[in-house]
Amino acid sequence: MNPCGEVVYEDDIGMQLKRRHFLSGSLGCVAIACGSDDDPAKTGQEYILADGTHPAMTVPAGSTLAAENPGEATVSSLGPGAALIVETLAGMTTTLRGLVVDAGGGVGVLVRGDGDFVAENIEIDADIGVGMAVEGAASVTLKHVRVLGTITEDVVPDLVFPLHAEDASIIGIALANVLQFTFDDVVVEGFGGFGTIFKDSSGSWSTGSIKNTVGVGIITEGGAVTFTDLEVRNIWQGQIGNAISSFGVVIGKGSSFHSLRFVIADCDGFGIVQDQSTASHASISISGCNDVGMWTQRCTSDGSDPVLRITGSGNTLSGNRGGGAYVLASGPVEVSGLISSGSTTKEVATSNTGLATMADGIQVANLVGGLTIDGLQAVDNARVGLLLHGTVDAGAVIEVSNIFVDGTGDFGVVAQDGFPSPDAASITYGNSDLQSADATIVYSLPVAGEKSTTETMSLESFVVIDPNGLVESDGTSANGAVVNRLGWRK
């Protein structure tokens, strides 16, 4: 029989679809095939897909679509549009389980509505466009999910920017206006613009990775997020045209960002850029980046809470070009138990027109509010271990203690241009040459300048489902959606 609303049996050619109702156990009609309008009466059903390949579908709000044998049932979009459109309604949970999604259109899984969405043991293979896009859901729960694009390191030199959603895998997961997300063991890789986007969405991500992606690994703007035991690795720079830059993580305006045992490694650009937001890290590691490991700018607080806090043990910034951590026009700041080592030299912008060679373990310039640095080890940083620059606010508490500097850099600890000098007893030198250089310096070292908003990849105009957004309501790529030097743009 025709699958659009009529009963289709298991042995009918091409469908291989079983159904059962959660409550009665009776067979239901196929309300999810052919993209037809959903029948609200069909919600609460469980649809079982047999092994094999199935056409694109719409999943009614409150129902479940599952593979009879996990990993053996594939839903494939052969043309433009979403492979799976998932409907949600307030108070209802729509679930995907055990499926492979082969997305040859605009998006693999498109979640619409204000209900709850759950995906377990899912693999999304996104040939072009977006792996998963969600807007306005009450909650999103992903467990054991793989979202895979087609971008590999070998093809990066051939990607021409702006990169169009119709031509390449550009975004792994995009969430906007999601009240609560919970990710557990989620892996994203192989995209040409963004691994994951969190716009005005709050939640947590525990275990998994974002890797082998051009542009940005994670970007947040608005919302409160927590990332635990997560790895961001191999985030590449675009090379041809108006190419997107490389950022492991962008913590954008209005975000509250927390990490625990967070690893960022081997990025072609910055490890973290934090702008007009707050962040706390415990046991963070940033290494092998081709630009500054942790860059914080224009982050201020109305109260005494730090805008940047690094605490706990095992905090390391190592082998990053240009420096370990830079804090510009921000505060209060609290750093403890940090090792910043092996920074190599790079030309860093001091203004719109100026450049200077830098390689600083930590640089704090034009502090706003107080500063606590306790237990810093700054070793083998090519220019200076700790640079403190500029006057401080009246009444601001400055506590710099338990500082160890060593290596063959130019300087150990430098306070300049009005910043109060730390107590000499708080600094231990492993190299007497550094101590002599600090005692005899007679000039000010250049400091970094703040980056423009465009360089921090603002999501101010980002929407998911809209003719002027990322995708149309049917999952086709919205006309003109691209990634370029400015991030996502129309």
Residues 70-93 have pLDDT tens digits of: 999 999 997 889 999 999 999 999
Rounded CA separation 210/245 (Å): 16
pLDDT score recorded for residue 475: 87
Give the chain's end-to-end CA distance (angstroms, integer).
43
What is the DSSP secondary structure assignment for residue 63, as one 8-state letter?
-
pLDDT score recorded for residue 166: 87
The one-letter amino acid at 64: T
Mean pLDDT confidence for 422-432: 97
In 289-357, which residue ranges form alpha helices assigned H by DSSP?
none
> Is 90 exceeded by the pLDDT of residue 21?
no
Share of the chain above pLDDT 70, in %: 90
> Is 70 exceeded by the pLDDT of residue 235?
yes
Mean pLDDT confidence for 8-32: 32
Rounded CA separation 355/454 (Å): 19
Half-sphere exposure of 435 (CA within 13 A, CB side): 11
The pTM of this model reads 0.92
Rounded CA separation 41/61 (Å): 10
> Is 70 exceeded by the pLDDT of residue 58?
yes
Please give the mean pLDDT across all residues of the chain. Answer: 89
Q: Give the tens place of pLDDT for each residue, 272-321.
A: 999 999 999 999 999 999 999 999 999 999 888 999 999 998 999 999 99
Nearest to 200 by CA among 124, 255, 241: 255
DSSP string across 267-298: -SSEEEEEESSEEEEES-EEES-SS-SEEEES
- Beta carbons of 323 and 345 less than 8 angstroms apart: no
Rounded CA separation 450/125 (Å): 38
E strand or H helix that includes residue 436: helix 432-440
**Residues whose CB is less than 8 angstroms from the CB of residue 192 and which lie 6 or more positions away in sequence, other chains included:** 149, 151, 159, 163, 168, 169, 170, 213, 214, 215, 238, 483
Q: How confident is the model at residue 455 (pLDDT cuts 50, 70, 90)?
A: low
Rounded CA separation 253/331 (Å): 15
Nearest to 120 by CA among 150, 91, 148, 140: 140
Q: Give the tens place of pLDDT for each residue, 390-413.
A: 999 998 999 999 999 999 999 999
In 261-419, which residue ranges form alpha helices assigned H by DSSP?
none
φ/ψ region of 468 (left if φ > 0, alpha if ψ in -120 to 50, else beta) reads alpha
pLDDT score recorded for residue 25: 25
pLDDT score recorded for residue 6: 32
